[in-house]
Amino acid sequence: MGKQRTEGNWRPVVAILLLAPVLGDCLTGATPPLDVVLWPPGAVLLIALYGCGALLCREIAFRRGLGLRGLCLLGAAYAVFEEALVDRFWLSARPSSDGGLGHYSEVWHTNVLLATNLTVFHVAVSIVSTIVLVELLFPGHRERAYLTPRGVAVTVGVFLVVPLLLSGQYSVQPLPQLICAGGLVIGLVMLGVRSPARPSLWESDARPAPARRWVAPIAFVAAAANMVLMGLSDTSVVWPVTFLAVLAPVAAGVLLIRGRVSGPVFGRDGLRVVTGFVGWYCLLAVGVGLAGRLDVTVTGIGVAWLLWRVRRRIGGLDHGLAPGGSPYSAGAAGAGGAGEEASRSWRRRSRDRRFRATGGSER
């Protein structure tokens, strides 16, 4: 685990608090950005829910020294909390005109297809993509906790209380389903914090990796196919078939990407995966916005610009992780000298770039 320093961390904290609602909600048009600007309580709700949720996932993962698997489990716990306990989207038979699926795939008053797909989305976009982008934007803070213990306590309080107060969901019905959802949140958190801290999926070592140009397109196609196949819910296809069809592109994308990358999560490989997933929603936002919500179009273009800027910022570097370490600990215990060397190399190259950019005037 990295050093427990928190000085000067307000910039990455603010970045997570603002970026998570943009990626997880505004980019999809679920809450148009202009509506958030014109209704301040809505902005407070999104920051408290999405922002504090992503910030807590990052802090828990950092402090526990978790790998990508643990972070994804925490993201899944966040998804259940939001969609089942706060929004109650899992438990509502909303029509398709209101973003729901009606009674399609409903089991025990729970929409199985919607619950599963929303969990995948929040893990990939709301949590993991947000954290990856912020870590790449602020690499100097990578080995630090963002919050003090008091800051963690305040964030937990805001995350648990504010969304429940502002969402207007004061009913405890259906009680059995809500109790099970709460138990699922606790179970996923426990699994996440106990997950082995080892490289998995898109993380393996700290060495520079050759360009893998197909990683982003694979992630893009997987996200696009996942959403397009959700349209089967409006047909006569039985829901178990739709369920398998919708998840198939995601599973195939994970397997294909896993076999093609070996660089760190917070490096070029991780950015490629994020660019593919988020890039699809950027394109979708532009299309939706042109149909009448230009603020959504502007959001899509803005996020696409951010992805481009992050890519330019990290340049040709692909360092920052120790072999076998967590995504937050280039010099973690047990990583050996290679992790320290990778971290030193990354800082040295960063200094060289700043030196050249200032014309040799930087001391």
Overall average pLDDT of the 80-105 stretch: 80
Q: What percent of the chain has pLDDT over 70?
A: 76
Q: Is the pTM of this model over 0.85?
A: no
Tell me the C-alpha distance between 213 and 250, whole Å.
Answer: 19
Which residue range(s) make up the domain with 300? Answer: 10-357
State the total domains in the chain. Answer: 1
Residue 259 pLDDT exceeds 90: no
Residue 97 forms part of a structural domain: yes
2 lies in a domain? no
Q: Is residue 204 part of a domain?
A: yes
Average pLDDT value for residue range 126-135? 95
pLDDT at position 99, please?
63
CA dihedral 337, 60, 120, 297 (to 10 degrees): -90
Residue 35 lies in a domain: yes
Q: Is residue 136 part of a domain?
A: yes
| Position 4 in a domain | no
What would the pLDDT profile of 185-222 be if each residue is shown by its tens digit? Answer: 999 999 999 887 665 433 444 455 555 678 999 999 99
141/181: higher pLDDT:
181
The answer to the question of residue 89 being in a domain is: yes
Complete DSSP assignment for 107-139: ETTEEHHHHHHHHHHIIIIIIIIHHHHHHHH-G
Q: Which residues contact 155 (CB under 8 A, 6 or more apart)?
A: 52, 55, 56, 59, 147
Average pLDDT rounded to a whole number, residues 319-335 = 39
Position 330 scores a pLDDT of: 38
- Is residue 144 very low, low, confident or very high in pLDDT (cuts 50, 70, 90)? confident
pLDDT at 165: 85
Q: Is residue 214, in this structure, part of any structural domain at all?
A: yes
Q: For residue 6, what pLDDT is reported? A: 56
Please state, in angstroms and as integers, the Cα–Cα distance from residue 203 to each residue in 55, 291, 319, following that order.
Answer: 21, 39, 11
Report the range of poorest mean pLDDT among 133-137, 335-339, 353-357, 358-362: 335-339
CB-based contact 330:321 (threshold 8 Å): yes
Q: What mean pLDDT is reported for the chain?
A: 81
Q: Which residue has the higher pLDDT, 248 or 330?
A: 248
